Amino acid sequence: MLQRIIMIIWKEFVQISRDPRMLGVVIVLPIFMLLLYGYAINLDVKHVRLAVYDQDGSQASRELVGAFTRSQYFDMAVQAWDERAVTQALDAGKARVALIIPATYSADLARGRRATVQVLVDGSDSTTASTAIGYLAGIVQSQNLQVSLQTLERAGQPVEHRARFWYNPELRSTNFIIPGLIAVILMMLAALLTSVTVVRERERGTIESLVVSPVMPFELMLGKLIPYVIIAFFDVLLVLTVGVFVFHIPFVGSVLLVLALSTLFVAAALGIGLLVSTVAPNQQVAMLTAVMATQLPTVLLSGFIFPISSMPHAIQLFTNIIPAAHFIRILRGIVLKGNGLAELWAPSLFLLVLGMVMLAASSARFKKTL
Amino acid sequence: MMHNPEFAIRAAGLRKCFGSITAVDDLNLDVTPGEIFGLVGPDGAGKTTTMRMLCGILHPDAGSAEVAGFDVRRDPEAVKRRIGYMPQRFSLYGDLTVAENLFFFANIYQVPREERLRKEAEVLAFSRLAPFRTRQAQYLSGGMKQKLALACTLIHTPSVLFLDEPTTGVDPVSRRDFWRILYDLVKAGVTIFVSTPYMDEAERCNRIALVNRGRVAICDTPEGLKARMRGEMWEVVADSARQAKMALASVPAVRGTQVFGDRLHVMIEGDGEAAIHMALQRAGVTAAGVRRIAPGLEDVFISLFSEQSDE
């Protein structure tokens, strides 16, 4: 049995090495996709055009405005002198966010009262709007804290209180996007790689030599899976390297654990491709099916961009069968938080079981008859 | 466990349907060990389907078959280990070299290393493929491809060899080579089951089964088959073989005619020569020669099948 599995592996490697298109798919495609999507998908909101109507005109109000414009997130675009100018700036799109500081601002602060500022946000691009609100809140809060801190010190109660974001302190969206992107790319690539392996034997007629030989379906499937696991492992190294050195994602956790669990993930994805290959009538349909079956669910339901926690409950349950959802949990967990197997055993086990189920299903699907 | 079966192949009542089409219908065959058995019939007669069922890679809808002492339905894997099957379509790896294909199949059949080296040398020698060891199979000529396919099916020393139209599309010299190899194999005790649409190849077999519409119409030695023909075979050489054919078609004693270039083969019962001359004269066709010939298998084949389709 081992001898036959080894022979199938050897044969696949010889065939792959003689197919130059394969090298393109294995090396160029993942790097190209990672660079393209990595740069294109950027959820960071910077240089939001800001309109300011400062009714107070005091030192305190100028400090608040300065806090906004000093950050790279907001650019002073419109200095308004009445409310109508603010409305116009928002309507015309000259500003996306307007800050209105009431005339009582500095007086309220001086009396230790709650100072209120009004913020108007153009909600037509909701993603930008919600991110901008996040920054606003942060800036306003830090202003408040500074003010209240001064007050407290005078009363002899030095309290330091600071909100910190763990795991991704700068809230850089690339840190969040790239691990997800790596999962999407590996998923699609792996399924694509194996999707043609069996159907190609059928198209070229070599299947007749195989089914009449003593090779058993399980031996054939495992022999076809292993070479691609090795190749996909190489792709794992490739995309992780690009992620770290080009997109500067921090790498907090264990590299070995990432590699080991990535292998589980690509093996499961390769298994899906293999199953497609035993069912598909020809290579074109096989490739199309592999891409459709993996890319769309992976992009939409894996938590790659759209957080699973904000999906309807039924769909949240459904995401449990999306391998990339588990892998993204693993990858973000290890890379950003430094998680170990203790936290990640459940998604890891899922990937292992899925891979084995796919291998078993492919072997069962492959009949030794024509 | 040694099997010493009385028959190398025995099929009883084999049937296979594809949808509404019955490809093989109640087919019976007995092939004794060590003979070259030919399955002869027109395209679509069910030759390939029969062969695939005997190799254990197609489930029969009904009937049973034993090959090399094992039941193809109950134990197809035991059958597969003991046979070599060369499909009609080239089914080796085109992107593997000659040597790599041999290496691959030898190991798939778990041929021990020493035996493998000996067999590789042997099959490369008789197929004269040794100079092309490092050439990818897809760049071989048609005849060489077939010889490589044969070499790969022999690498594990099968006791029964199934060849599905092995020489279709192969030049005459390669065909002769190919048959020389087959005779050597038979001498070594291998049973060969070969399908062919060519009559000259059928004549090289020890026994042949004529199949038509999925049934064995007749099974005999080539000589026995020819002897079964009713009537005599005459060859007419005329300026226009077509005119001669038309002139003879109306003669009641003529059972069949077949044009071969400028010659016409006429199968006739009773006093052939006189009837032929009379009919040609009446039609005003001048014949350069009329002579009695021994019927070839092709004549037998055509007469048998035209009789069947008359029914």
Say which residue, A151 or A1, is predicted with more confidence: A1
- A11–B58 CB contact, under 8 Å: no
Q: Enter the tokens of residue B261.
A: 């270039």
- A14 in contact with chain B, both atoms CB, cutoff 8 A: yes
pLDDT the model gives residue A157: 40
Best of B95, B96, B135 to disrupt the A interface (most A CBs within 10 Å) is B95
Residues of B in contact with A196 (CB under 8 A): none
CA distances from A259 to A232, A244, A254, A359, B231 (A): 11, 14, 9, 21, 82
| φ, ψ (nearest 5 deg) of residue A171 | 50, 40
pLDDT at residue B50 above 80? yes
Which token pair is A308?
Answer: 């699973």
For the residues A152-175, what does the mean pLDDT come to?
53
Mean of pLDDT over chain B: 87
Six token digits for residue B149: 């396919």
Chain A residues within an 8 Å CB radius of B68: none
A167: confidence class by pLDDT, cuts 50, 70, 90: low
| pLDDT tens, position by position, A188-208 | 999 999 999 999 999 999 999
pLDDT in tens, A176-189: 888 888 899 999 99
Distance from CA of B91 to the nearest CA of A (A): 4
Q: Is B110 left (phi over 0), alpha (psi -120 to 50) or beta?
A: left
Q: What is the pLDDT of residue B29?
A: 92
Q: Check B59 against A215: CB less than 8 A apart.
A: no
Cα separation, B40 vs B35, in Å, equals 15
Pick the most confident of B138-147, B280-289, B299-308. B138-147
Q: Give chain B positions within 8 Å (CB) of A4.
A: 107-108, 110
Q: What percent of chain B has pLDDT over 90?
A: 53
Q: Given pLDDT bands bounded at 50, 70 and 90, which one contains residue A152?
A: very low
For residue A339, pLDDT beyond 80: yes
What is the mean pLDDT of the segment spanning A334-346? 89
**pLDDT (mean) for B249-273:** 80
In total, the C-beta contacts within 8 angstroms joining chain A to chain B are 71
CA-nearest residue to B75 within chain A is A214
Nearest to B109 among A10, A207, A213 (CB): A213
Establish if B73 touches chain A: CB-CB under 8 angstroms.
no
Mean pLDDT of chain A: 85
What does the pLDDT average to over A349-362?
A: 95
Asked if A205 and B87 come within 8 Å (Cβ–Cβ), the reply is: yes
Mean pLDDT of B221-233: 81
**pLDDT in the model for residue A12:** 95
pLDDT tens sequence across A57-91: 888 888 888 888 887 778 888 888 888 888 888 88
pLDDT per position as a tens digit, A285-295: 999 999 998 88
CB contact under 8 A, B104 and A212: no
Domains annotated for chain B, with CATH where assigned, are 9-225 (3.40.50.300), 230-294 (3.30.70.100)
Please check the confidence at residue B19 and state whether its pLDDT lies above 80. Answer: yes
| Residue A165 confidence (pLDDT) | 53
Q: B-chain residues within 8 Å CB-CB of A218?
A: none
Give pLDDT, residue B3.
Answer: 53
Interchain CB contact of A82 with B (< 8 Å)? no
Mean pLDDT confidence for B15-24: 92
Half-sphere exposure of B145 (CA within 13 A, CB side): 23
Please report, rounded to a whole number, the percentage of residues in chain A having pLDDT higher than 90: 37
Q: Which chain A residue shows the shortest CA-CA distance from B104?
A: A7
Q: How far is CA B143 from the centre of its chain?
A: 17
Angstrom distances, CA of residue A150 to CA of A64, A143, A179, A323, B254:
15, 11, 42, 51, 125
Which of the residue ranges A160-169, A185-194, B230-239 would you say has the lowest mean pLDDT?
Answer: A160-169
Instruction: Tell me, letter by letter, the H, E, C secondary structure of B166-184.
Output: CCCCCCHHHHHHHHHHHHH
pTM value is: 0.79
Chosen from A13, A200, A208, A367 to mutate, greatest number of chain B CBs within 10 A: A208
Measured between beta carbons, which residues in chain B are less than 8 angstroms from residue A3? 107, 110
Per residue, the 3-state secondary structure of chain A, as one string, reads: CHHHHHHHHHHHHHHHHCCHHHHHHHHHHHHHHHHHHHHHCCCCCCCEEEEEEECCCCHHHHHHHHHHHHCCCEEEEEECCCHHHHHHHHHCCCCCEEEEECCCHHHHHHCCCCCCCEEEECCCCHHHHHHHHHHHHHHHHHHHHHHHHHHHHHCCCCCCCCCCCCCCCCCCHHHHHHHHHHHHHHHHHHHHHHHCHHHHHHHHCHHHHHHCCCCCHHHHHHHHHHHHHHHHHHHHHHHHHHHHHCCCCCCCCCHHHHHHHHHHHHHHHHHHHHHHHHHCCCHHHHHHHHHHHHHHHHHHHCCCCCCHHHCCHHHHHHHHHCHHHHHHHHHHHHHHHCCCHHHHHHHHHHHHHHHHHHHHHHHHHCCCCC
Q: Determine which of A197, A211, A215, A216 to mutate to test the interface with B (most B C-beta atoms within 10 Å).
A: A211
CATH number for A48-154 (one of 3.40.1710.10, 3.40.50.2300, 3.40.718.10, 3.40.50.970): it is 3.40.1710.10
The predicted structure's pLDDT at residue B121: 93
Q: Does B253 touch chain A (CB under 8 A)?
A: no
Name the one residue in this structure whose structure tokens are 């030695």.
B221
Calculate how close chain A gets to B247, using CA atoms only, in Å: 49
- CA of A18 vs chain B CAs: smallest distance (Å): 7
Q: What is the pLDDT of residues B102-121, one digit of tens each?
A: 999 999 999 999 999 999 99
Contacts of A159 (CB under 8 A, 6+ apart): A149, A152
Mean pLDDT of all residues in B249-260: 80
Asked if B91 lies within 8 A of A206 by C-beta distance, the reply is: yes
Residue B7: pLDDT over 70: yes
Task: Tell whether the model's pLDDT for residue A240 goes beyond 80.
Answer: yes
Predicted pLDDT of residue A74: 84
Query: Tens digit of pLDDT for each residue in B74-98?
Result: 999 999 999 999 999 999 999 999 9
**Nearest-by-CA chain A residue for B101:** A11
**Residue A159's pLDDT band (cuts 50, 70, 90):** very low
Mean pLDDT, residues B216-242 taken together:
83
Task: Decide if pLDDT at B192 tops 60.
Answer: yes
Residue A370 in contact with partner chain B when CB distance is under 8 A: yes
- Per CB-CB distance under 8 Å, the chain B contacts of A207 are 91
Tell whether B41 lies on the interface with A, counting CB pairs under 8 A.
no
Domain residue ranges of chain A, discontinuous segments joined by + = 10-42+172-365, 48-154
